[in-house]
Amino acid sequence: MQTQKARKLLMIPGPIEFEPAVLAALAEPTPSHVAPDFIEVFGRALDNLRTVFQAPDGQPFVMAGSGTLAMEAAVANLLEPGDRVLQINTGYFSDRMAAICERSGALVTHVPAPAVGDAPGLAEVERALQQDRFKLMTITHVDTSTAVLTDVAALAKLARSAGALSVVDGVCSVAGEALPMADWDVDVALTASQKALGAPPGLALVMARPRALEAFRRRTRPVASYYADWSNWLPVMQAYQARKPAYFGTPAVNLVLALDVSLAQIIAEGMEARVARHARLSEAIKAALTALGLSQVPLRPAVAAHTLSAPYFPAGVDGAALLGKINAAGVILAGGLHPALRTRYFRIGHMGAVNAADVLATVGAIEQGLHGVGYRFDAGSGLAASQRVMQGQAGHPPFA
Ligand SMILES: *Cc1c(COP(=O)(O)O)cnc(C)c1O
């Protein structure tokens, strides 16, 4: 075991740092998946997921797997060969969703962002919707490769008025960004345990609202994925919700125990307070980056996520060396992911249990790293900018 002094702060866009009570659930003696106590926990977790997704009429699905399985389950259950999908593209994970849709035999039309770091405009989306009859619109709420945030409320409305179902990849947004599914009339949203939801990697979560379930029931051909098929999982989820035993594939029981603890903590904080905390701490990090002279991949605050930040390396700075020095100063950050600029930027995850002290530790380590690679800046200026935001003395900075 690492000592507390040797411990480094994990500030990547998933997996994140987890609450001790969540981690303790992993060390519980593994129960039978049909033990009465476990049935109660799983049933409660499913009920609480409706609260966290703000979808009282939603059907949750919890499967062992990563976020990519959740993406696949969300669309494979709705698509049949020849169906058309409109993909709102903001980066790497949007491309992945398109590839998953194609695997189900769908024909995918992309609405590309005008530039990396931007989101497609609503007028363009409207135009694309008029060109064809689409069964689904797929939206990446926060694309973790670009830190771009999309306007899910407006996009879901456009999808509805064109008769398409909206599917939101919320892996980097659920429980961090505002995503009131029922209020925004989003049909399907999905996530994974290891991001803002605050439980270790290994659970794929999908919330399907009535229109999506109806489209699933009306399909004429079997679902292309056997494991992800809702025909297998729906009776299991309904059984646990009714506090009855059921089996299709063995649930990741200890992860479900951990999820239950995390969901209770999220609900105790309150969705609005949680979203506001993510926004405030995100602004504090972004203000520090601006003060230090680092520009960011999202082109402006309106398209910038609150669950992670994506700063460019300053000109002339060796990115790998900088990340190494930041690590040596005690904070683990992530490299780039978008293929067009992979080596030019880095990523800071700030979701889940993140607090003001984590922000200051991270900005401090970034300053130490910058100093270590010979970058010239006012020592402490990043920290001061973060403090001003966290003390309510400054709002959203420009990103220049
Ligand atoms: C992390 C992430 C995924 C993939 O999740 P895995 O658990 O790595 O499979 C998908 N979409 C988004 C937006 C993500 O951030």
Planar angle of CA 345, 343, 144, nearest 5 degrees: 50
3-class secondary structure, 130:
helix
Planar angle of CA 347, 350, 352, nearest 5 degrees: 140
Q: Is 193 in the pocket of ligand 1 (CB under 6 A)?
A: no
Q: Of all protein residues, whose CA lies closest to atom 6 belonging to ligand 1?
A: 67
Confidence band (pLDDT; 50, 70, 90) for 315?
Answer: very high
Q: Is the peptide bond before 15 cis (omega within 30 degrees of 0)?
A: yes
Q: Is 172 in the pocket of ligand 1 (CB under 6 A)?
A: yes
CB 218, CB 32: distance < 8 Å: no
Place of tokens 């689904």: 136
Of 144, 146, 152, 173, the one to substitute when testing ligand 1's pocket (max ligand atoms within 8 A of C-beta) is 144
Q: For the segment 325-344, what is each residue's pLDDT rounded down to a tens digit?
A: 999 999 999 999 999 999 99
Q: For the segment 355-370, what is each residue's pLDDT rounded down to a tens digit?
A: 999 999 999 999 999 9
Q: What is the average pLDDT across 13-37?
A: 97
Whole-number Å distance, alpha carbon 68 to ligand 1 midpoint, is 6
| Helix spans in the chain (H) | 20-26, 36-52, 67-76, 92-103, 122-131, 152-161, 181-184, 210-217, 230-241, 253-269, 271-291, 319-328, 356-372, 381-390
Q: Is 144 in the pocket of ligand 1 (CB under 6 A)?
A: yes
Residue 399 has pLDDT above 70, yes or no: no
Q: Which two tokens stand for residue 245?
A: 């035993």
pLDDT at 246: 96
Q: Which residues of 305-331 are buried (b: 16+ CB within 10 A; e: fewer)?
A: bbbbbbbbbbeeeebeebbebbeebbb
Whole-number Å distance, alpha carbon 185 to ligand 1 midpoint, is 23
Nearest to 113 by CA among 146, 71, 156: 146
CB 162, CB 155: distance < 8 Å: no
Place of tokens 């129960």: 31
3-class secondary structure, 280:
helix
Q: Is 93 in the pocket of ligand 1 (CB under 6 A)?
A: yes
Helices 271-291, 381-390: crossing angle, 10 deg rounding:
150
Q: Which two tokens stand for residue 318?
A: 């060796």
Residues 6+ apart with CB under 8 A from 391: none
**CA 240 centroid distance within chain:** 26
| 204 Cα nearest atom in ligand 1 | 7
| 194 Cα nearest atom in ligand 1 | 7
Q: What is the average pLDDT across 166-180?
A: 98
pTM exceeds 0.75: yes
Confidence band (pLDDT; 50, 70, 90) for 6?
Answer: confident
Q: Is 239 in the pocket of ligand 1 (CB under 6 A)?
A: no
Average pLDDT over the chain reads 96
3-class secondary structure, 302:
helix
Q: What single DSSP character describes residue 175?
A: T
pLDDT at 3: 86
pLDDT at 400: 45
**CA 95 centroid distance within chain:** 15
Beta bridge partners of 89: 112
CB 144, CB 308: distance < 8 Å: yes
| 142 Cα nearest atom in ligand 1 | 13
Q: Which two tokens stand for residue 228?
A: 């992800």
Q: Is 192 in the pocket of ligand 1 (CB under 6 A)?
A: yes
Whole-number Å distance, alpha carbon 251 to ligand 1 midpoint, is 20
| Helix spans in 104-229 (H) | 122-131, 152-161, 181-184, 210-217
Residues 6+ apart with CB under 8 A from 332: 8, 9, 10, 11, 12
Q: For the segment 40-73, what is each residue's pLDDT rounded down to a tens digit?
A: 999 999 999 999 999 999 999 999 999 999 999 9
Q: Is 66 in the pocket of ligand 1 (CB under 6 A)?
A: yes
Whole-number Å distance, alpha carbon 371 to ligand 1 midpoint, is 33
Place of tokens 């709102």: 88
C-alpha–C-alpha distance, residues 253 and 276, integer Å: 32
CB 206, CB 228: distance < 8 Å: no
Q: Is 42 in the pocket of ligand 1 (CB under 6 A)?
A: no
C-alpha–C-alpha distance, residues 381 and 364, integer Å: 10
3-class secondary structure, 334:
strand
Q: What single DSSP character describes residue 301?
A: G
Identify the structural domains of the chain with CATH numbers, from first to last. 9-15+271-390 (3.90.1150.10), 20-269 (3.40.640.10)
**CA 257 centroid distance within chain:** 21
pLDDT at 394: 74
